[in-house]
Structure 1
Amino acid sequence: MMKSKIPVTVLSGYLGSGKTTILNHVLNNRQGLKVAVIVNDLSEVNIDADLIRDGGGLSRTNEELIEISNGCICCTLREDLLREVQRLAKENRFDYILIESTGVGEPIPVAQTFTYIDEEQGIDLSELCRLDCMVTVVDAYRFWTDFSSGETLLDRGQAVGDDDTRDVVDLLIDQIEFCDVLIMNKCDMVAPDELEELEGVLRKLQPRAKLIRAIKGQIEPADILNTRLFDFDAASTSAGWMKEMEKPAHTPETEEYGIASFVYERVEPFHPERLMTWMEEWPVEIVRAKGMMWLASRNDFAQSFSQAGPSIQFGPAGYWVAALPEAERAELLQEDKELSKQWDPISGDRINKVVFIGIEMNKEQIIASLDGCLLTDNEKQQDWTRFADPFPNSASELKEVFNLT
């Protein structure tokens, strides 16, 4: 007879952040729990698995270490992860499964593996396991270096494949914005005031997660085992920029270490050329920005905008509802009461709404300079399709245009 669902904790975090050190520490202080460990490494020789063996946290007779090498469990090796977790759960030998994801893995696809049936393999991990906690480890000493590097994983020789063009900073943000526990590791290597500032920024980026400071990976195992913290919907909507979007307008807040956030919201379109000029002179004090933009020259399409450090992503996010055929528009307005409440009689759902998170930001100056990018009354009378539009349509072109590094 099957025991109750086996709990699972997943450790994510960029290369060198200290995941393996934390894993070893937990294994050596797990108070009798029988733990199966799955370690994912991109190299053909699984170095992290060797470190865990050498750390002495696993007893050879009672526990098992699974190595998944030469790929990433969030993509190419997802099937391997499914099969291994299923096998371990069905063996009924373990109290817990600990997974150390590769340093270049994104946490959301790994979490999704535990939440739905894989039709191809006929595996439903949600029947066997309970995803207990998603943990992200941040290297407090190297964070700002990696954040501002402007490098891609390809540049660093850390890409999953030749088509993996992700920026290092975007990976860092993905890992931080989706987690239940955020561990700041190597805190002894950072000055106290710098550590306070970094913690403030991380709390802005991820306000929901339990934040823990660690030195040499030493944490309480109870902080990441049997926490019952994971909730997919809550984790998916826990990013700081999302929470900022939900706040009532003009909510005052206390700023610590100059760390603040605000929402820029205007029911008017941007002039594409002026907005591009503004972005090319990006204010360095803005750490993170995310939202929707309305470009006059692309009046039918909402533009998704995302910035983290020197990385900017910009591109079509689909039609504005106001641009849809009348019957379809009426149906959507009938179904979505929130949309109908926010509907503008002239612009419909078209809007500029962007969250800014930063350190020592000059909010008034940023708002005024962005307002200067909006169409003037005279321009509103002109043919918007004739405005020069320097914005590219692909990510690679965008990187060349901004070159923020």
Structure 2
Amino acid sequence: MRTLESEHQMEKIKDHAPHTKPIPVTVLSGYLGAGKTTILNHVLNNRQGLRVAVIVNDLSEVNIDAELIRDGGGLSRTTETLVEMSNGCICCTLREDLLRETQRLAMEGRFDYILIESTGVGEPVPVAQTFTYVDEELGIDLSAVCRLDTMVTVVDAYRFWHDFASGETLMDRSQEAHEHDTREVVDLLIDQIEFCDVLVLNKCDLVGEAELAHLEGVLRKLQPRARLIRAESGKVNPSDIMGTSLFDFETASASAGWQRELDKPSHTPETEEYGIGSFVYERVRPFHPSRLMDWMSSWPEEVVRAKGIMWLATRNDFGQSISQAGPSIQFGPSGYWVAALPEAEKNEILSEEPELREVWHPRHGDRINKVVFIGIELDRQRLTDSLDACLLTEEEMALDWQSFEDDLPNAEAV
């Protein structure tokens, strides 16, 4: 339904997109079935004269989403354009196509806005990167002709927890982007949530208010920066996802809840809403590999998300990255500790990063365990005590650390 306020908002979007300036772009991401196409159709039918070009990406040979948008009647057949990109993903195999088509549409000079619907198994970061640097091989600089305005992620309120806890891979569901795509569904969900400007929680009419508020609380903890909008049947105000000028690559890259927790100067626990909380586990002492592996094999169910760096006694030169989302746990080398580098290189880094000197340990340098835990009804003390029990004891600190058994993943890589 048209209102004076919505018409005014759409006029503001037009003002931000004259032909003499880079044309603004909104990218819709979200897992399969979340409602991206429904939202796109709703926006196209409620844009009050805004001239829009649409790019729709679908992995299948037949672009079903494009057919739905065409049938939805939101695009003018004479003045607007629908570009279909099928049988591939714009974040990898069809990236060149995305570059060329977006440049072509922007340079035609007859559109006020470009809307891109990414495939349901696409990750938003590679798509955003396409707009932020010059592709020298193709000779295309999208930033000269268009401006990434808003990254939107659509979440299915009804199926979120089912998908989150499924433990399935995209291959298990025959949804892989390519033959080597071994990603887990939950990791894709988290990637899409943690990199966006606007989170649309769709299908809210299918979920009770208490469950909805609880899910909203989790999403706000996972992605505290994004604007969160509730929607039913994909009905959102076009100005909520277009012409927001919210996107900034550096800001978006550091906006995930775990990153914000690590960046805080202090880690004082905040007031919890709906039992959803977070804390940072930080210790300057290495983990015993066998005890840590036992701990990880019985991962606390209340932990929804964990991310950080771990110090493993048997891999003293390399920090270990840990990333957990639901039943998916990824663990492996993340790079050299600065303290393990040759003296000249180490001193150069310390001179360039004086803040590192402030936390430098006289014996262990920058080696540290620093992991963010986000969860529901977290027992911080119990979690802390159980992790402390995995650290080397005073007696073990004096032993040969390489003598400890290490069966954790990627040991051969270090």
Determine if the TM-score, normalized by the shorter chain, exceeds 0.5: yes
Q: What SS does structure 2 have at the residue aligned with 1:313? A: strand
Q: How does 1:1-400 map to 2 (within 5 A)?
A: 3-393=20-410
Q: How far does residue 48 in structure 1 lie from its aligned partner after superposition?
A: 0.2
Q: How far does residue 2 in structure 1 lie from its aligned partner after superposition?
A: 5.7
Q: Distance in 2 between matches of 1:219 and 1:235?
A: 22
Q: Distance in 2 between matches of 1:213 and 1:250?
A: 30
Q: How far does residue 248 in structure 1 lie from its aligned partner after superposition?
A: 3.1
Q: Distance in 1 between matches of 2:276 and 2:269?
A: 13
Equivalent pair of 2:279/2:373 in contact (CA under 8 Å): yes
Q: Distance in 2 between matches of 1:317 and 1:225?
A: 37
Equivalent pair of 2:269/2:279 in contact (CA under 8 Å): no
Q: Distance in 2 between matches of 1:31 and 1:100?
A: 20
Q: What SS does structure 1 have at the residue aligned with 2:193? A: helix
Q: Distance in 1 between matches of 2:347 and 2:53?
A: 54
Q: What SS does structure 2 have at the residue aligned with 1:316? A: strand
Q: How far does residue 338 in structure 1 lie from its aligned partner after superposition?
A: 1.2
Match for residue 10 of structure 2? none
Q: Distance in 1 between matches of 2:136 and 2:263?
A: 36
The aligned amino acid for 2:264 is K
Q: Distance in 2 between matches of 1:252 and 1:177?
A: 21
Counting aligned pairs with the same residue, the percent is 74
Please provide the CA RMSD for this pair.
1.3
Equivalent pair of 2:314/2:401 in contact (CA under 8 Å): yes
Q: Distance in 1 between matches of 2:103 and 2:344?
A: 48
Provide, for residues 186-227 of structure 1, a one-character-per-residue CA deviation record: whole Å limited to 9, x for no partner: 001111111111000000000000000000000100001111
Gaps of 5+ in 2: 1-17
Q: Distance in 2 between matches of 1:392 and 1:47?
A: 40
Q: How far does residue 351 in structure 1 lie from its aligned partner after superposition?
A: 0.1
Identify if the C-alpha distance between structure 1 residues 394 and 228 changes in structure 2 by more than 3 Å, giving closer, same or farther.
Answer: farther
Q: What SS does structure 2 have at the residue aligned with 1:306? A: strand
Q: After the TM superposition, which parts of structure 1 deviate over 3 Å for at least 4 consecutive aligned residues?
A: none
The aligned amino acid for 1:98 is L
Provide, for residues 218-248 of structure 1, a one-character-per-residue CA deviation record: whole Å limited to 9, x for no partner: 0100001111000011000000000011223
Q: What SS does structure 1 have at the residue aligned with 2:25? A: strand
Q: What SS does structure 2 have at the residue aligned with 1:184? A: strand
Match for residue 5 of structure 2? none
Q: How far does residue 393 in structure 1 lie from its aligned partner after superposition?
A: 1.0
The aligned amino acid for 1:156 is R
The aligned amino acid for 2:325 is A
Match for residue 4 of structure 2? none
Q: What SS does structure 2 have at the residue aligned with 1:350? A: coil
**Greater displacement, 250-259 / 52-61:** 250-259
Provide, for residues 364-403 of structure 1, a one-character-per-residue CA deviation record: whole Å limited to 9, x for no partner: 00000000000000000100000010112189x9xxxxxx
Provide, for residues 306-360 of structure 1, a one-character-per-residue CA deviation record: whole Å limited to 9, x for no partner: 0000001111111111111122211111111111111111110000000000001
Question: Could you tell me the TM-score, scaled by structure 1's length?
Answer: 0.96
The aligned amino acid for 2:278 is S
Q: Distance in 1 between matches of 2:347 and 2:122?
A: 42
The aligned amino acid for 2:97 is D
Q: Distance in 2 between matches of 1:182 and 1:127?
A: 27
Aligned residues: 396
Q: Distance in 2 between matches of 1:252 and 1:137?
A: 29
The aligned amino acid for 2:55 is I
Question: Could you tell me the TM-score, scaled by structure 2's length?
Answer: 0.94
